[in-house]
Amino acid sequence: MGREAEGHAVWRGQSGAVKAYLESDGIILRGEVRTKLPRAGLMGWRVEGEDLCLRSDGAPLVLTLGAKEAAAWVKALEKPVPSLAAKLGVSATARAWGVGGPRPEELAVALAGCEASRPEAAAVIVAVLTGPGDLDAALAAGQESGLRVWCVHGKGKGAAVPDATVRAAFRAAGWMDIKASAVSAEFTATLYRPPV
């Protein structure tokens, strides 16, 4: 979905200027009204004049974004949320070669029926990083195969292999991060392309 806009929000007795983000997993409001509204709880979206009106877990949200932007948000909200497999670009015809640590359940479900039996049969590498050895293995697998690498790692300060560590290692080897995707509440993924 990936939309963002500045506007005014009215939510649960609060009102104020916000920067609003529409992500695949929900709406995030930052500014004078701060909240995160999960996608599963959003319903009844519509445009009323300059406003995007909807409900989240039974409570009304009014975002004044302008008629054109509100209509674009409604159109984005009406699109089905892509599956994790679709976000990662894996399917029965574009298989993934898995390396690294144990997979989060959401990733295991996404890769079911989409795994390659060897790197030569894969379109992409999916590496789960649960320790420094997994990071080294992910980079080595990418360098040997020439394939793009999805690095799946924990979120936040407590992550076994933090995002900054992954980025530093891949960029030092000439790789570039080109896409990111949420995997679960605890894990995120970043796609790296090999040096050109």
Mind listing the pLDDT tens digit for each residue in 84-126? 999 999 999 999 999 998 999 999 999 999 999 999 999 999 9
Residues 70 and 88 in one domain: no
Residue 42's CATH number: 2.30.29.30
- Greatest CA separation for the chain: 57
> What pairs with residue 26 in β-bridges?
23, 38
Q: Which domain holds residue 21?
A: 3-78
Q: Which two tokens stand for residue 3?
A: 């939309």
Verify that 130 and 157 share a domain, yes or no: yes
What is the pLDDT averaged over residues 161-165? 94
Number of domains in the chain: 2
Q: Which residue has the tokens 């290692």?
A: 169
Q: DSSP string spanning 35-54?
A: EEEEGGGEEEEEEETTEEEE
Based on the fold, state whether residues 113 and 187 are members of the same structural domain.
yes
Query: Contact, 48 vs 59, CB < 8 A?
Result: no
Residue-wise pLDDT for 25-76, tens only, equals 889 999 999 999 998 899 999 999 999 999 998 899 999 999 999 999 999 9
Residue 39 and residue 99 share a domain: no
